[in-house]
Amino acid sequence: MQKILLIIIILLLLQSCATVGMVPSNVSEIDFYAPEGKTGWSEYQHVETFHGYNANQIYEAAKVALGNAGFSLRTADKSKSTVIGEHGITLHDWNVVAGVYFKENNDKTIVKLIVEGSKDIGFSGDVTSDGWTGKILKEMRDYLSSTYQAVLKVDKSD
């Protein structure tokens, strides 16, 4: 009986972990106009427009930003306009997965972040957000500003 209970507990823990498969693997699966904020049990989405930066610059910035925010790079594919990273255990989560998706539009590039946390309840409830989308975007801005010496202009209507 104890072995069965242990197996059930292990299976539940494994199912609650966030995996790379929880986020889209290609920009073609992304709706840049979908609602933002907390959009699922432990899913957070944010869209931002980067004026004056092209897709290549955003691609490099996304890889650096994920690393600087503590994420390990899991997949980066410029042809799919996708960069995905995974963050290990935090005080509130078993793990967190973040996907950065981008599309170039004239003189700007639109970026969407999707962050998925583990599906556990924990002592403090779902607190996955931990500002991950904001942290990653800040790291992207810092990288772009310091690397390309351009002034980041944010369209306030975004």
Domain of 38, in residue numbers: 2-148
Task: Give a yes or no: residue 153 inside a domain.
Answer: no
CA distances to 11, 13, 93 from 8, in Å: 5, 9, 20
Task: Give a yes or no: residue 156 inside a domain.
Answer: no
- Supply the pLDDT for residue 125: 47
Of the listed ranges 44-48, 52-56, 131-135, the least confidently predicted one is 131-135
Tally of domains in the chain: 1
Q: 108 or 121: which carries more pLDDT confidence? A: 108
Does the pLDDT at position 12 exceed 70? no
User: Looking at the DSSP assignment, which residues form a beta bridge with residue 49?
Assistant: 110
Q: For the chain, how many residues are written?
A: 158
- Average pLDDT rounded to a whole number, residues 120-124: 50
What CATH number does residue 64 fall under? Answer: 3.30.310.220
